[in-house]
Amino acid sequence: MKLLLAGISHRTAPLDLRERLTIAPSRLADANRALLRVPGVREAIVLSTCARTELTVCYDAEVPDLSKFLADFLDVPPTQSKDRTYEYYGIDAVRHLFRVACSLDSLILGEPQILGQVKDAYAVARSIGAVQSNLERLMQSAFSTAKKVRRDTKVGKAPVSVASVAVDLIKKVLGSLRGRRILLVGAGEMSGLAAKHLVRQGAESIAVANRTFENAVGLAARLGGPAVRFEDIQSATAVVDVVITATGSSEYIFRQENGPELMRFRQNRPLLFVDIAVPRNVDPEISRTEGILVYDIDSVQAISSSHRQERNREAQRAEMIVARSVNRYQEGAVALDVAPAVRGLQLAIEAIAHTELGQVQTKLLVLTPIQQHAIQLLLRGMTNKILHPMIRILKQAAKDGDVQTMETICAVFDVDPTPATQACSVERFWLSPRSTMARGRDAAAKLQPTH
């Protein structure tokens, strides 16, 4: 079984592409089911957040084209995403997943939401049977690594989130939040975090709008502000200073054509939109209307750079924890039992020696027992000298998880490597697939005698 992780993130793709490649929570189960229908894919997990969409699969046979799968599933032309998609194989995929879970690859270094999002993605995949022994072990290792990073470093202390940095951005633009009136569009986790930071910064009144009005009422009650019915959002926007949007809507809530009417109701008082949703809730073209400013989720990167400087030292400690965890995982994952392969080689070479001896025995004169013993010792010594470098390479290949080298050595002597792979008591993830010719050259080079 082989491991592949492919996706796009804030590091490789702009926001407009990320939002087109975002998979809504309601479609995650379907995405996992569809992945399992890809030839060769045996296990799968789909992760989709505001900063990334990643597919992690265990597969056999040919490498699945996950970039094409993602484009087809979301009806996006493959040419638009192919150059932005990254792929990690084997232990590199393990390392990337661990870093993501530990918030070392997040848009905001150390933000706490990503681990919960990874756990949610795992839970959805597991609930439909897309997670079996391979990904189960991988995900549990990722979770334990993230827990250790949180416990042993300060990378997650005084948590910084997209919501908190968004509030910092608002403060930077307006100078102060004291006396400001805010409209939160959305009543989920991100809105709740934003509300907490808004209160700390002295926002005067925080209204909440949500498609499910009961949810808006619940959050508004905790904030001591009014709840707004979704159909009344436009009128509510006319009396606030800032609108923060964080909903799962796949369509714009505020469109370009809404701009002039909003400013007329506001009597041209400036309006600030901070859109931290992916896909975006605010049409960026609305900023063409004079007096309206729009910031999206990628705008927080400039603000977050100062937070990153403060956390870099702790992040280095976290990276060391991840590196050790990856090494431990690799040692366990590629601890192949090579004894059957070694025994197979011994039998094959001994059979060759026995056959060759049988062919020349008729040409030999009658040998004394001492002479026969000497010949047997000679053959055994030659056999051991031939076997020694191959056994050494086999053991190193097992340690490295290099099953191709094992298979190449066994193929030279017509030894079936299957027993060796069946005898392995732990799950394994192989290294990056390469061309057969390249693997053959590497294996042949390893078989050259050492001096």
| Spatial distance between the Cα atoms of 305 and 107, rounded to a whole number of angstroms | 10
- Both 119 and 195 in one domain: the answer is no
Which pLDDT band holds residue 451 (cuts at 50, 70, 90)? very low
Which pLDDT band holds residue 122 (cuts at 50, 70, 90)? very high
Q: At what angle do helices 113-127 and 133-152 cross, to 10 degrees?
A: 160
**33 located within any domain:** yes
**316 located within any domain:** no
Q: What is the pLDDT of residues 190-232, one digit of tens each?
A: 899 899 889 888 887 899 999 999 999 999 999 999 999 999 9
Domain count, the chain: 3
Residue 342 sits at the vertex; the CA angle it makes with 340 and 345, to the nearest 5 degrees, is 110
Q: What is the pLDDT of residues 356-394, one digit of tens each?
A: 877 777 777 677 888 878 888 888 888 888 888 888 888
Q: At what angle do helices 28-36 and 113-127 cross, to 10 degrees?
A: 50
Query: Which of 308, 272, 312, 313 shows the shortest CA–CA distance to 291?
Result: 272
Strand bridging mode 292-296 / 271-275: parallel
Q: What is the pLDDT of residue 159?
A: 56
As a whole number, mean pLDDT of residues 247-258 equals 93
Domain boundary among 152, 172, 195: 152
Q: What b-and-e string marks burial along 224-239, b requiring 16 or more CB atoms within 10 Å of the CB?
A: ebbbbeeeebeebbbe
Those residues whose C-beta lies under 8 Å from the C-beta of residue 77, and which sit 6 or more positions away, are 71
Q: Which residues carry out catalysis? A: 50
With helix as H, strand as E and coil as C, how does 166-200 read?
HHHHHHHHHCCCECCEEEEECCCHHHHHHHHHHHH
Q: What is the pLDDT of residues 147-193, one digit of tens each?
A: 999 999 988 775 577 888 889 889 989 988 888 999 999 998 889 98
| Spatial distance between the Cα atoms of 24 and 56, rounded to a whole number of angstroms | 17
- Both 278 and 138 in one domain: the answer is no
Share of the chain above pLDDT 70, in %: 86
**279 located within any domain:** yes
CATH of the domain at 171: 3.40.50.720
* Phi, psi for residue 229 in degrees, rounded to 5: -70, 145
**311 located within any domain:** no
- Both 143 and 7 in one domain: the answer is yes
Strands (E), 174-291: 181-185, 205-210, 227-229, 242-245, 271-275
Q: What is the pLDDT of residue 367?
A: 76
**186 located within any domain:** yes
Q: What is the pLDDT of residue 342?
A: 78
233: tokens are: 């959002």
Q: What is the pLDDT of residue 333?
A: 60
CB of 326 closer than 8 Å to CB of 318 = no
Provide the 10 A C-beta neighbour count for residue 409.
Answer: 22
- Both 202 and 124 in one domain: the answer is no
- Both 56 and 172 in one domain: the answer is no
- Both 200 and 272 in one domain: the answer is yes
- Both 120 and 176 in one domain: the answer is no
The whole-model pTM stands at 0.69
**308 located within any domain:** no
* Average pLDDT in the chain: 84
Domain boundary among 152, 179, 204: 152
Share of the chain above pLDDT 90, in %: 51
- Both 63 and 89 in one domain: the answer is yes
Domain boundary among 303, 326, 355: 303
Highest mean pLDDT among 144-158, 266-280, 390-404: 266-280
CATH of the domain at 15: 3.30.460.30
Residue type at 105 in one-letter notation: D
Q: What is the pLDDT of residues 86-115, one digit of tens each?
A: 999 999 999 999 999 999 999 888 888 899
| Spatial distance between the Cα atoms of 153 and 252, rounded to a whole number of angstroms | 40
Q: How distant, in Å, are the alpha carbons of 110, 347, 362, 381 from that of 351?
A: 60, 6, 18, 14
Greatest CA separation for the chain: 118
- Both 291 and 353 in one domain: the answer is no
DSSP letters, 93-139, are HHHHHHHHHTTSSSSSTT-SHHHHHHHHHHHHHHHTT---HHHHHHH
With tokens 């470093």, the residue in question is 153
**333 located within any domain:** no
Domain that holds residue 385: 339-446
Kindly tell me the number of DSSP H helices and DSSP E strands found in the chain: 18, 10
Q: What is the pLDDT of residue 428?
A: 36
Residue 286 reports pLDDT greater than 90: yes
Residue 410 sits at the vertex; the CA angle it makes with 408 and 416, to the nearest 5 degrees, is 120
317: tokens are: 């400690």
Residue type at 289 in one-letter notation: T
Q: What is the dihedral of CA 108, 112, 117, 122, to 10 degrees?
A: 120
Give the CA count within 13 Å in the CB-facing half-sphere of 57.
27
- Both 63 and 111 in one domain: the answer is yes
Burial class (CB in 10 A: 0-12, 13-18, 19+), 240: buried
* Phi, psi for residue 204 in degrees, rounded to 5: -75, -45
Q: What is the pLDDT of residue 450?
A: 41
- Both 123 and 247 in one domain: the answer is no
- Both 171 and 281 in one domain: the answer is yes
**203 located within any domain:** yes
